Amino acid sequence: MELAFDTRGDVTVVRVKEAKLTYPVLSAFFSEVQQRVEGGARKVVIDLQGVGYLDSASIGCLMDIHRLLQEKGGALRLSGLQPRVETMISMTGVHKIVPLHRDEDEALTAFASQEAGQ
């Protein structure tokens, strides 16, 4: 599982460097993100720009990350979804729970706007 982590202000950006996000790599994916959340990350953007395919288990994993962040008072945003991935996310209704953004910068701006509005 290849991931890249970056901190942009108070936002942790997780860049998935796999063409397919599927069941065999989910344990490592969740564990890596969970470590960051347990370490204090509360605003997380998962950049899926490089992901061309994900399965239903991956969608469940994204929801697990969303719940984990909510329990800690945080929030998750997804960015850079390719059309096929966005279709899967939309078909399952995840887009109604986890905000989707065209790219990483848009997701970061949304976090900043949300904070300014509070």
Fold classified for 3-110:
Transcription Regulator spoIIAA (3.30.750)
pLDDT at 2 over 60: yes
Q: How many CA atoms are closer than 13 Å to the CA of 56, on its beta-carbon side?
A: 2
Residue 116 pLDDT level (bands cut at 50, 70, 90):
low
Residue ranges covered by each domain of the chain: 3-110
List Cβ neighbours of 70 (8 Å cut-off, separation of 6 or more): none
pLDDT at 118 over 70: no
Cα 67 to Cα 42, 45, 60, 71: the distances in Å are 12, 14, 10, 6
List Cβ neighbours of 102 (8 Å cut-off, separation of 6 or more): 79, 80
Encode pLDDT of 70-89 as tens digits: 999 999 999 999 999 999 99
Residue 117 pLDDT level (bands cut at 50, 70, 90):
low
Encode pLDDT of 43-73 as tens digits: 999 999 999 999 999 999 999 999 999 999 9
What's the pLDDT at 57? Answer: 96
Burial of 58 per CB tally in 10 Å (0-12, 13-18, 19+): buried
pLDDT at 15 over 80: yes
